[in-house]
Amino acid sequence: MMVTFEQPKPRQATQLALCGLVAAVVLPLLPIGRWIAPGDSIPALLSREAIWWLYATAVLLWLGLVEQLPISSIGLRRPTWKSLVFAVLGAVALVFVFAIHFGVIVRIFHLDAAAAMEQQRIILSRPYWYRVILVLRAAVVEEILFRGYIIEKVRQLTGSGSLAIALSVLAFTCAHFAGWGLVHLIPVFCSAIILALLYVWRRDLPSNMLAHFLTDGAGFLLR
């Protein structure tokens, strides 16, 4: 016998979307990983990575089992050749933003990028296999949370694409504050805008994920 699920009523769907949105925004901003697994040992680092994957899994389960919506509702669909093309173009734009910021703006305005440089040095000092895990997690989990889910839930609740982009950019930027410093948040903010616009334009989350992976990979895997 086939089991069917009753679709949530409009008011219930709104409440469920709001609960999911609040969790998707708030949880990544809390230092839960460091509370549970403090320190910088490899086991602690891997535990914190696992917590991020749990966030993404929880969002997908909430979306499918509670909200009764397909994963395609947050842009998770089979990638096409266009996904690859726009991912590469997006990655080029993102790398350009970081290159201009740290290669030109930081030097012209004598900004203190010591915190960002130190954080990058720490990451590059870790095993290559761990860096692959780090970049992969960032590309997949952060796009599910900060682009696919947050943007679609805000649009569902308010009907505003601009507000959806604004909250996505704010949440993504704030999530990158710890350890990196304020100067690093400038290109992160610009990158968040690019990734949000790419998602809203294409609604192709795999394309966003690949663009994110290529960008972070250029910084952490090619050295």
166-179 pLDDT, tens digit each:
999 999 999 998 77
Is the separation of the CB atoms in 171 and 142 below 8 Å?
Answer: no
Q: Does 6 score more than 70 pLDDT?
A: no
pTM of the model: 0.93
Alpha-helical segments (H) within the chain: 10-26, 32-36, 42-61, 81-100, 106-108, 114-124, 128-142, 150-158, 161-175, 182-202, 205-220
What's the gap between Cα 223 and its chain centre? 23
Task: Name the average pLDDT for the chain.
Answer: 94
CA atoms within 13 A of residue 13's CA, in its CB half-sphere: 12
User: What value does the mean pLDDT take over residues 68-89?
Assistant: 97
Residue 3 pLDDT grade (very low, low, confident, very high; cuts 50, 70, 90)? very low
